[in-house]
Structure 1
Amino acid sequence: MDRPILPEAAADAAITDAAGNQHRRAEGEVRIVSLVPSLTELLCELGLAERLVGRTGFCIHPRETLKPIRKIGGTKDVKRDVVRDLAPTHLIVNIDENRRETVEEFAAFIPNIIVTHPCRPEDNFELFRLFGHVFGCEEAASRLAAELEASLAAAATVARALPPERVLYLIWRAPWMSVSRDTYISAMLRAVGWETLPADAASRYPEIDWSARWIGEVARVFLSSEPYAFRERHLDEVAALSGRPAALIDGEMASWYGSRATAGLRYLAELRVRLAGASATVGS
């Protein structure tokens, strides 16, 4: 497969983020604070760890690299004074993960706020291009794009080889909650041929009624490792409630975008094949 080339902008050109804000190539000393765990990981993959001065307590990958980086609270409960003291030139945020009021407050003293909102695994190409241009690391961004292209192709091969399957992806317990089809998680699962239910949801993260008619259409239930830490002990409970086989799934692999999307697609493709084989064995 030919290596995909990310469209490059001239060094003095502006590039647009998910909020429509335009960003030019960073100049001088660059000091980055990231409020998004998956994008903190991406910054490190792009070789920008030395420019990272602040991160949330949920930014844990790569662990050893991030140990010396200052923690500034959580994704939603950010310590304003700590961030101000770090004097960042750039703040990395996400529409789903961070509060608008927090971002607006930081805009008063942080000159460059980069807003992200990937909704599909393919949206990571634009994310790589954005970071690559702003922080002058286009070569590393192009490498990540090539790896993502290969993983997308492998996922599509699996999706074509196996019959589509409707699944329920649980993210919370008490109340039971899932994901709607317009979420990044649902798009990642769709890439390997898993279609999430419910098909129509009033919110992006709907509560689940186990007596709903559509539960009968579910072939398999996934229990995510995050944000609720589902464990083996929950499998029998969910299987009894749904009447369907239940399996644990790595939530980071399904929900983290950025550089993790490549590994996530490979993980989901392998899981799809493995579970399909197990189902065939049970049914034979």
Structure 2
Amino acid sequence: MPHEGEARIVSLSPALTELVFALDLGTHLVGRTGRCAKSVEGLAAVSCVGDLHSIDYERLQSLNPTHVLMDFGNTPKTVVDALDALELPLLSVEMTDPQQNFDLYSLFGAVFSVPMAADTLSRRFEAALARVTMAMRNKTRQRVLYLAQKDPYQTVAKSSYGAALLDLAQLELIGAPETASEMEDGGALVMTESLLLSVNKILFNGSSVKFKRADIKAFAEEFGVPRSKLVRLDNDPNMQFGVRAIDSMDRLIALREKTDA
């Protein structure tokens, strides 16, 4: 249902924050997390409610939000439980497939009464998807190992948004469980020789807080893997939804060119 009255939005997700601005709703944003400040220029002036793992719930409540935007799949359970207990007006999304972006645009367009802006994003995303489909039409599938984080090394489930995104580029995750619930020890991976030899490329989470270039160099030296087999992504695939999904399609095409090399 469309929101009646002045919307007061708090975003706990950088990707959703960017979507708010893409829909020209930035003036309604009254709160955000620390990481959100890195996603949109000038956002530092918006009240910060802490980081995702250490939310200042008192400050969050004091902002009197009409909507608290949350990316369920990338939010710690303790935070989800705390938000539920406070009975805050949550608008939660759980992205598992790039096709869901169409529904996400429509949802925000309806709730915040900006259907035309939402339709514009849908048409842009549809065109971007078509470019990927065309670019991959003669590609064969490649086997890749994707490392989402280190200490210990972890991957993501095949049912995750990130895996589905990479699949658009005909990149199949190896060593990944079907679902997150099947992960043992938090998804820790053992870097066996057979695993490393079974893949065409090894992909590293491009988030600056996950893998730096020095980490990738150390990985190559520790496991004796040629640097040419290692590819650092430009971002975190699990976070490339909303308006980010549009640009991520062209990055997928560029990524596939790297894995083909």
Once the two structures are superposed, residues 30-53 of structure 1 have per-residue CA deviations (whole angstroms, 9 ceiling, x without a partner) of 101111111011011101100010
Which secondary structure does the structure 2 equivalent of 1:152 belong to?
A: helix
- The residue number in structure 2 matching 1:207 is 188
Amino acid at match of 2:19: L
**Corresponding residue to 1:136 among 113, 133, 140:** 113
Aligned residue pair count: 251
- The residue number in structure 1 matching 2:46 is 69
CA contact (8 A) 2:205 2:237 kept: no
- The residue number in structure 1 matching 2:30 is 53
User: How is 1:222-237 mapped onto 2 (pairs within 5 angstroms)?
Assistant: 222-226=203-207, 228-237=209-218
Question: 1:212, 1:126 → 2: CA distance?
Answer: 42
Q: Which moved more, 1:235-244 or 1:154-163?
A: 235-244
Question: 2:74, 2:215 → 1: CA distance?
Answer: 26
Query: Aligned pair 1:105/2:89, yes or no?
Result: no
Counterparts in 2 of 1:228 and 1:212: CA distance versus 1, 3 Å: farther
Question: 1:137, 1:270 → 2: CA distance?
Answer: 32
- The residue number in structure 1 matching 2:232 is 248
CA RMSD of aligned residues (A): 2.0
Shift of 1:191: 0.7
User: How is 1:86-105 mapped onto 2 (pairs within 5 angstroms)?
Assistant: 86-98=63-75, 99=77, 100-105=80-85
Shift of 1:132: 0.3
CA contact (8 A) 1:169 1:196 kept: yes
Shift of 1:271: 2.1
Query: Aligned pair 1:161/2:143, yes or no?
Result: no
- The residue number in structure 2 matching 1:118 is 95
Counterparts in 2 of 1:275 and 1:92: CA distance versus 1, 3 Å: same
Amino acid at match of 2:216: L
Shift of 1:62: 4.3
Amino acid at match of 1:246: L
Question: 2:9, 2:65 → 1: CA distance?
Answer: 5
- The residue number in structure 2 matching 1:272 is 256
Runs of 4+ in 1 over 4 A off after TM superposition: none
Q: Report % sequence identity.
A: 27
Which secondary structure does the structure 1 equivalent of 2:70 belong to?
A: strand
CA contact (8 A) 2:156 2:177 kept: no
CA contact (8 A) 1:35 1:93 kept: yes
- The residue number in structure 2 matching 1:20 is none
Question: TM-score, with normalisation over the residues of structure 1?
Answer: 0.82
Query: Aligned pair 1:191/2:173, yes or no?
Result: no
* Larger helix fraction of residues: 2
Which secondary structure does the structure 2 equivalent of 1:71 belong to?
A: coil
Question: 2:224, 2:47 → 1: CA distance?
Answer: 43
Mark the runs of 5 or more structure 2 residues left unpaired by the alignment. Answer: none
Question: 1:77, 1:45 → 2: CA distance?
Answer: 27
Question: 1:251, 1:188 → 2: CA distance?
Answer: 12
